[in-house]
Amino acid sequence: KNQVEQSPQSLIILEGKNCTLQCNYTVSPFSNLRWYKQDTGRGPVSLTIMTFSENTKSNGRYTATLDADTKQSSLHITASQLSDSASYICVVSGGGADGLTFGKGTHLIIQP
């Protein structure tokens, strides 16, 4: 069964600090890995998509890494801001419109 596991479940850090969120997956076949940001009560917004051949991708202060051999990904947030408070969801695609497996998300709280 395809699975995406995210850790930690929740995280609290001070504004200005860096943090790293983890995603481990057992999805086969593998097409791409995505990170989404979801603010409370709103829909997720895409941060990055990485294919098998990409091992790092940045979007502003967000940097995602992918190790396809160990089936692990991380999302690093630099110099956190209050607006980074959200849930971050890791999604792995096995190909096909119905081939997405969603993680449960990491709930991040940035404190002033």
Partner 1 sequence: DGGITQSPKYLFRKEGQNVTLSCEQNLNHDAMYWYRQDPGQGLRLIYYSQIVNDFQKGDIAEGYSVSREKKESFPLTVTSAQKNPTAFYLCASSLRDVNSPLHFGNGTRLTVT
How far is residue 65's CA from residue 13's CA, in Å, rounded to a whole number?
21
User: Does position 10 bind partner 1 by CB under 8 A?
Assistant: no
Smallest gap, in angstroms, from Cβ of residue 45 to partner 1? 7
User: Does position 80 bind partner 1 by CB under 8 A?
Assistant: no
Complex with partner 1: residue 47 or 80, whichever CB lies closer: 47
How far is residue 108's CA from residue 28's CA, in Å, rounded to a whole number?
28
User: Does position 42 bind partner 1 by CB under 8 A?
Assistant: yes
Complex with partner 1: residue 91 or 110, whichever CB lies closer: 91
Smallest gap, in angstroms, from Cβ of residue 51 to partner 1? 6
Write the burial class of residue 48 (CB in 10 Å: 0-12 exposed, 13-18 middle, 19+ buried).
buried
User: Does position 53 bind partner 1 by CB under 8 A?
Assistant: no
Q: Tell me the CA distances in angstroms from 83 to 19, 39, 40, 73, 87, one per residue in order.
A: 14, 9, 11, 23, 11
User: Does position 60 bind partner 1 by CB under 8 A?
Assistant: no
Neighbouring C-alpha atoms within 13 Å toward the C-beta of 81: 4
Residues forming contacts to partner 1 in the complex (CB under 8 A) are 4, 31-32, 34, 36, 41-46, 49, 51, 89, 93, 95-105
